[in-house]
Structure 1
């Protein structure tokens, strides 16, 4: 779709929201809480952004963009080049972080800009939430905390805990009391990888079906010790080199091979693939320890061995 920027608003230090509408004012495709859209930024790069408005609002989409220091230019170009009245190419909404209906309760954990999909979920509840809920919103300081005014509204205040660490590890927030006892609630966590890994570790005794993660670091990011490796597709006997900076998924798709995928960040489980030979470097948020010898998430994980054989 081609959408027009109807308004832009600075929400916090380094965070700006953009309201996107159809140029003719027509209704936009429906979306569900937790959805995202892919946007072609002014730099030309495509980036995924969560929709943070109420899904009942069909006249606009609202996204919030953090100006990432050291980014390749996508978020920076949104801040520096995008103006009200400009148009953008935008995908229809997709959802790899769907809100489970009829849950017993909801525990939301957001870190920084990870508040965006969770805010859409909270807004979808309206005045009568379908179940008890609590938000734990972690950020560095008030100045960099997006939507602080919205979440400080008297109607929401009893359900929201906002914690500022000031960048001091000694002031980190203790999530264990909220996660110690599985109680049938569904946990939704979106934020920096460090936060998601901590939540994953603290919910190891929960049912995996009740713990959900969202990340927009496609391919899982690059690590200093990454190196190329080879992947063989068992069904076709095709072999490909996976270079540093590219995922198994992206390479096999480039060569016309079919693979299921959705989030591209190792959080939804759609690209789960059988691992037949080799040792994987698992970087997903989905697999259980007992599954790691026989399964791999090809959107993020790499290899510790020189070669992997996967069931594709």
Structure 2
């Protein structure tokens, strides 16, 4: 007999549905911190008119979410936009969801801001103190579920690291063993080994193409690979050959296609003595957000 594991997304969606029902609200949503992009975004919503809320980037001190994060306490609006006419444009979630009133409360864990819980109404409404307290209790439950799932995910990741190296790590070890002193790999940004399996396989395909061309060009050729942090959101892969690396139009086109398929860009510098090829990638586009996107797994009971 099997038991379906309920994911965090399903758990929080249910809690939002219960909150909407309990408070007779039209809309409810949760914003969480995105550590990859260093920003808060709305991740889940019940009663939304569309999915545009997911594209809103929260600004510190602005809007209902930004003000809640800044003050670390609830923020209440009973008549929008009349109540905040001069600042209405700072409240995009209220505009796109056509809300007239709303309440937001912070999700705080040991003084650390994790996110914001919001309920809203498409009519003017004065919220009672008992209703705001109900929101705070719901926020505590949501925070508990979120922290528990994060800790479970982190433990699982650490266990996998102990028992199994990433595909890229294994590939680099094999290539170093194969080419010896001809290949130098400098891994300055370890995040590359945390990429999704698909992204790692795509990068391996790119490295294989370039290594094959580089080492076939000259018997004593040397190749240096440097993988480094470019910004909080980007990493760069630089491949340097100590000779002119000839890439036919067909081969370069194939290489460029492989890079573009994983949302990267490519730059090349050629001279008579060496070739420097640099590829830039956005980390957030290559890492699977498993906490939100992993389908429920079957587990034997």
TM-score (norm 2): 0.24
| Larger RCO of the pair (alpha carbons < 8 Å, separation 6+) | 2
Asked which structure has the greater CA Rg, the reply is: 2
TM-score (norm 1): 0.23
From the two aligned structures, give the one with the greater helix fraction: 2
